[in-house]
Structure 1
């Protein structure tokens, strides 16, 4: 199990859900993931298709919580076509790491976007594999932590 210090409830719930769906020694598949079981944290999710040759990532689904913080709708876009996400970029490298290691990646990805009251974001990248071994999708959870007003 990944030793991480998760701050936000949606990311904690996502991680525990993913662990509960992983067969012993294998990765969960997309068909193991049921959106009805994820209602509490579904708005915080991104689902990425993974293309392996050449490596690329396509935004299949972007939750409503996340889309509210984006400059534009990225649904159906390939990461390689986005200036701030194509290689070399931190987002690309983190997704690549999840594919290569076949394990969770808990990166620190700085928020770059239009909202000025965001202090940080918390994200978690979880691999999915139709055959339990070869990563073909990434399940990503994202929450935004706002400045507190005293």
Structure 2
């Protein structure tokens, strides 16, 4: 099975584990733009088709030797969660110990394999607010159809709510 076919099969398997409908919609959109015989590129991706998801997306450029990620686009919901804009910033410069975090390791996996990664769990990097488990999906984009040169991701944050104290 080639890389492009594997990426579709992997995302199809991931669909059953996705909990948030917005993450599912993002996955389904990526599958709809997937050319089948090669990985989709940034030119296949048209944000006009998923306007309600844009606040939750992050697009990073990939550089190699070593693999690094520079933020090209950051949605407003992500900016709100981090309380800072990272456009133009390398993620390893923005976050201490980033190379050991899931956001880095998952993106490296996408770059090296061309396969999507999905994770639900506590944030592994520091945010300005306290969040419940975050659902995230990282998907490959490849200008030449094979070499992943961008990773597009969706992040769904839900702020923790504090239960009212009982008067017992």
Q: For 1:115, which of 126, 129, 141 is the aligned residue?
A: 129
Q: Provide the rounded CA distance (Å) in 2 between the counterparts of 1:110 and 1:26.
A: 33
Unaligned residue ranges in structure 1 (runs of 5+) = none
Deviations 1:27-57 (A, max 9, x none): 1100000111110211110000001232110
| 1:125 aligned onto 2:138 | yes
CA contact (8 A) 1:85 1:91 kept: no
Q: Which has the higher strand share?
A: 1
Name the counterpart of 1:10: 22
Q: Provide the rounded CA distance (Å) in 2 between the counterparts of 1:32 and 1:40.
A: 18
Question: What's the secondary structure of 1:93's corresponding residue?
Answer: helix
TM-score (norm 2): 0.81
Unaligned residue ranges in structure 2 (runs of 5+) = 1-8
Number of equivalent positions: 149
RMSD (Å), alpha carbons:
1.8
Deviations 1:90-134 (A, max 9, x none): 221111001011010112452231223x21110000000011100
Q: Which has the higher helix share?
A: 2
- Which of the two has higher C-alpha Rg? 2
Q: Residue 7 and residue 85 in structure 1: after superposition, are their counterparts in 2 closer, same or farther (change >3 A)?
A: farther
CA contact (8 A) 2:129 2:159 kept: no
